[in-house]
Amino acid sequence: MIFLAAILSSCGKDPAQMTDAELGLNQQQSQGRKVFNIYCASCHTAYSSKGNKGPGLKHLYKKEYLPSGLTPTDEHVEETITRGRNMMPRFADQLDQEELQDLIAYLHTL
Ligand code: HEC
């Protein structure tokens, strides 16, 4: 029991349960978080590398390579979002340019 409590307190709060303010998100990033929760969260986790239907997106831009093997640039990530990739649907028709930019800004915080 003490062991478990030690683990829990050392991990702190689950970021997925934290408010935008607690995460230190600016206005654009917090808009992007909303977009993510609507369109992406059904297949991707934001704060875990464990996949759901798609790969977990934790540290997306901090890794050397995206799961596909492409480098993590805005260009490559935008391409995946707007055109889709294999089993991932395309979002070009659902997201306007502002939502896309907000979403990218949020993904940079992961
Ligand atoms: C229906 C499920 C689904 C939804 C919804 C979805 N994705 Fe995906 N996504 C996937 C799958 C599956 C892959 C793996 C594609 C592959 O085979 O490389 C993926 C891959 C990715 C990748 C990695 C691309 C790479 O180059 O490796 C990113 C980034 C990504 N998705 C972001 C998003 C974002 C942002 C959204 C919301 C706009 C989203 N996805 C919505 C299923 C989904």
Q: In this model, does residue 6 exceed pLDDT 80? A: no
Half-sphere exposure of 73 (CA within 13 A, CB side): 5
pLDDT reported for residue 11: 61
Quickly name the fold that domain 26-107 has.
Answer: Cytochrome Bc1 Complex; Chain D, domain 2 (1.10.760)
Contact status, residue 91 vs residue 82, Cβ threshold 8 Å: yes
Residue nearest to atom 25 of ligand 1 (CA): 68
Query: For residue 4, what pLDDT is reported?
Result: 63
Which residues are within 8 A (CB) of 70 and not within 5 positions of it... i.e. 6 or more apart?
Answer: 76
* pLDDT, the chain, mean: 92
**Alpha-carbon distance 13 to 106, whole Å?**
19
99 Cα: distance to centroid of ligand 1 (angstroms): 16
Residues 6 or more apart in contact with residue 105 via CB below 8 angstroms: 26, 28, 29, 32
Residue 43: CB partners within 8 Å, gap ≥ 6? Answer: 52, 53, 54, 88
20-36: per-residue pLDDT in tens?
999 999 999 999 999 99
Closest atom of ligand 1 to CA, residue 103: 35
**69 touches ligand 1 (CB under 6 Å):** no
Question: Could you tell me if 85 and 35 are in contact, meaning their C-beta atoms sit under 8 angstroms apart?
Answer: no
How close is the Cα of 26 to the center of ligand 1, in Å?
Answer: 24
91 pocket-lining for ligand 1 (C-beta < 6 Å): yes
